[in-house]
Amino acid sequence: QVQLVESGGGVVRPGGSLRLSCAASGFSFSDYGMHWVRQAPGKGLEWVAVAWFDGTDKYYADSVKGRFTISRDNSKNTLYLQMHSLRAEDTAVYFCAKDTGSDYSLDWWGQGALVTVSS
Amino acid sequence: QSALTQPASVSGSPGQSITISCTGTSSDVGGYNYVSWYQQYPAKAPKLMIFEVTNRPSGVPDRFSGSKSGNTASLTISGLQAEDEAYYYCSSYTTTNTEVFGGGTKLTVL
């Protein structure tokens, strides 16, 4: 059974940093692209970033480019999202999600980690 | 990376059919057959319902179907059931190797 478990969420001040982790199990982690998607309170889904297979290819939403870094450790079956220069508008539940293959459709999702940026 | 356009809400009675539209551009929806649809209940993670425009993952009822014409994709739910009441989001791959979601549609079963 596929499982994705996020951790590392919390409260951080504007301008601060935070690192999210997503522990994966139940599938061959290195064979799939992995994404981060966020959802601000009461709002819709917003795609954040993807890291493909060995992590060499990474792409970001314009809203986080230059501030967030996605990475993966295939030896630990873990996906990361390092977030810097956080803003109030980054407040959201952050989901990690597994790609079905290479078509940007997401077939398994974690339960989400809440990040609150507030002074 | 502008969000895809979905109606804010749709409604239907049990047994009826509804269709949710998702409009993008030639740089996303119109340019690729990589449109997905997700169902989300409040405070829950999204669930993939349709991928690659028309395909259903295992376990998704065949009451759910997808289609696309030009820059607009659609999700149709036939034989509406009370349990279908949820938020629905479309998404598409884009020319910049990113993904874009629609704003979401709240489906109310009357």
- Is the model's pLDDT at B1 over the cut of 80? no
Optimal mutation site among A60, A104, A107, interface B, most CBs of chain B within 10 A: A104
* Nearest chain B alpha carbon to A36: B99
Which residues from chain A sit within 8 angstroms of residue B98, using beta carbons? Answer: 47, 50, 59-61
Express each pLDDT in B76-91 by its tens digit: 999 999 999 999 999 9
- Helix, strand or coil for residue A104? coil
What distances in angstroms separate CA A100 from CA A41, A43, B18, B54, B58, one per listed residue? Answer: 27, 25, 27, 15, 12
- Is the model's pLDDT at A102 over the cut of 80? no
Closest CB from B38, B48, B98 relative to A61: B98
Express each pLDDT in B20-31 by its tens digit: 999 999 999 999
Express each pLDDT in A30-76 by its tens digit: 999 999 999 999 999 999 999 999 888 999 999 999 999 999 999 99
What is the residue-averaged pLDDT of chain A? 96
* Nearest chain B alpha carbon to A60: B98
